[in-house]
Amino acid sequence: MQRRTLLIAASAATAGLAAPALVRAQALEKPKLTIAVGGKNLLYYLPLTIAESLGFFKAEGLDVTVADFAGGSQALRAVVGGSADVVSGAFEHTLNMQAKGQSMRAFVLQGRAPQIVLGINPKTLPGYKGLADLKGRKIGVTAPGSSTNVMANFVLAKAGIKPNEVSIVGVGAGNGAVAAMRAGQIDAISNLDPVITLLQRSGDLKVISDTRIVAEADKVFGGPMPAGCLYAPLPFVEKHPATAQALANAIVRADKWIQAAGPGEIIKAVPESYLLGDRAVYIDAFLAAKGALSPDGSFPEAGAATAVRALQSIDDTIKDFRFDLAAAWTNDFVRKANAKYPKA
């Protein structure tokens, strides 16, 4: 009788140890999911890469597949089309989609400034004097309709240049973008690191506007402009709160890890292919972009209003649209994630 009691107690103790993991697995409504991203190698999405490579998603009970596309607009189409569940992309897409009648909600931030750099090609524009010189020229972006396209349009609009007065060319976010500049196929480029740093070091780029610097980004956009984030269709977030929380936990943990990490640790954590054949360039790019990455995943309160102003300034079709700013984002998941991971 005593032996039986001991066996029952031992079984109960074992079950108790397994219970938390079991409960967590049961609580995740969709543990296996796909995140679509446009240019995974970009430092813009470094928190996503770190969460994947260091096992932060797995630690939350998630089995995540990251589907990489040429640009954020294509990643968004994957979610709209049903081939992916969540987008790792630019915050302003949530507002653009709202104007098109599709509700999207951002729930954890990766970048607190766009990190997009607009620059000209010294080879094709040797006598460049100002933005007016870009009228009628070819401008390379990661993909038409992506945040790099929005940034280019926004800066050009300040000089009175309309979107239809330039030619937008999709060049991707890697070696293709570098090759297009060096071959003179484009006259200017709106892109991100490590592409920008690589072009700068080789003398193939003259910077016009640099939103890797938070203060300059705030000045360009007239307020805090949230950048890379995880967002999904509103029904997904509402039906899968535990899954959204697990994703937010992993990204917040990655955000904090990055802020505490040195260049050497970053180099070890990212795939070799992301370095574009030059580790020194990637380290320089990381140091240039680090300040623009989110320290804790939180969205700034004024961020959505800033994004709306930027979008309305370049798109006449949404100038009179009444956006529901609160519906486009939430810090609810981020607050819980920071409570779980107060430190890196």
| 132-174 pLDDT tens trace | 999 999 999 999 988 899 999 999 998 999 999 999 999 999 9
Q: Is pLDDT above 50 for 215?
A: yes
Whether pLDDT at 3 is above 50: no
Give the CA angle between residues 20, 22, 23 to the nearest 5°. Answer: 65
What pLDDT, on the 0 to 100 scale, is given for residue 7? 39
Residue with tokens 């770190």: 50
**What is the pLDDT at residue 315?**
87
The conformation of residue 293, written as its DSSP 8-state character, comes to B
Nearest to 254, CA basis, from 62, 86, 51, 109: 51
**Beta strand spans in the chain (E):** 32-38, 63-69, 86-90, 104-109, 117-120, 138-141, 167-170, 188-191, 206-210, 228-233
CATH of the domain at 191: 3.40.190.10
Which range marks the domain in which residue 128 is found? Answer: 117-221
Q: Provide the domain count of the chain.
A: 2
Structure confidence at residue 235 as a pLDDT band (50, 70, 90): very high
Nearest to 71 by CA among 44, 33, 94, 95: 44
Residue 1 lies inside a defined structural domain of this protein: no
The sheet carrying 206-210 orders its strands as 167-170, 138-141, 188-191, 117-120, 206-210
Statement to judge: residues 210 and 149 lie in one domain: yes
Residue 275 lies in a domain: yes
Same domain? 79 vs 169: no
Mean pLDDT of 262-291: 94
110 shares a domain with 12: yes
Residues 15 and 34 in one domain: yes
| Stretch 194-205: mean pLDDT | 96
Mean of all residue pLDDT scores within the chain: 92
- In this predicted model, what pLDDT tens digit does every residue of 7-39 receive, in sequence order? 344 444 444 444 344 334 448 999 999 999 999
- Lookup result for tokens 């006259």: 187
Do 171 and 39 fall within a single domain?
A: no
- 136 within some domain: yes
Residue 173 and residue 99 in contact, taking contact as beta carbons nearer than 8 Å: no
Say what the pLDDT of residue 11 is: 42
Give the pLDDT of residue 316. 87
> Over the stretch 37-67, which tens digit does the pLDDT of each residue have?
999 999 999 999 999 999 999 999 999 999 9
Do 335 and 231 share a structural domain?
yes
Asked whether the predicted pLDDT for residue 4 surpasses 90, the reply is no
Q: Are residues 317 and 300 in the same domain?
A: yes
State the Cα–Cα distance between residues 344 and 341, nearest whole angstrom.
7
The answer to whether 142 touches 171, Cβ cutoff 8 Å, is yes
Quick check: 190 and 117 in contact, CB under 8 A?
yes
pLDDT-based confidence at residue 262 (cuts at 50, 70, 90): very high
Residue 111 has pLDDT above 60, yes or no: yes
Asked whether the beta carbons of 245 and 336 are under 8 A apart, the reply is yes
Q: Judge whether residue 329 has pLDDT over 80.
A: yes
Q: Is 232 found in the same domain as 91?
A: yes
Q: Name the domain boundary from 163, 186, 221.
A: 221
Residues 105 and 230 in one domain: yes
Q: Grade residue 314 by pLDDT with cuts at 50, 70 and 90.
A: confident
Mean pLDDT of 302-330: 94
Verify that 81 and 138 share a domain, yes or no. no
Structure tokens at 55: 């096992």
Q: Are 118 and 242 in contact (CB under 8 A)?
A: no
pLDDT of residue 313: 86
Greater pLDDT, 86 or 8: 86
Distance CA 63, CA 121 (A): 42
- The length of the chain is 344
* Domain presence at residue 99: yes
Res 252 pLDDT > 90: yes
Same domain, 142 and 168: yes
Cβ pair 239, 85 in contact under 8 A: no
Locate 225 and state its tokens: 């402009």
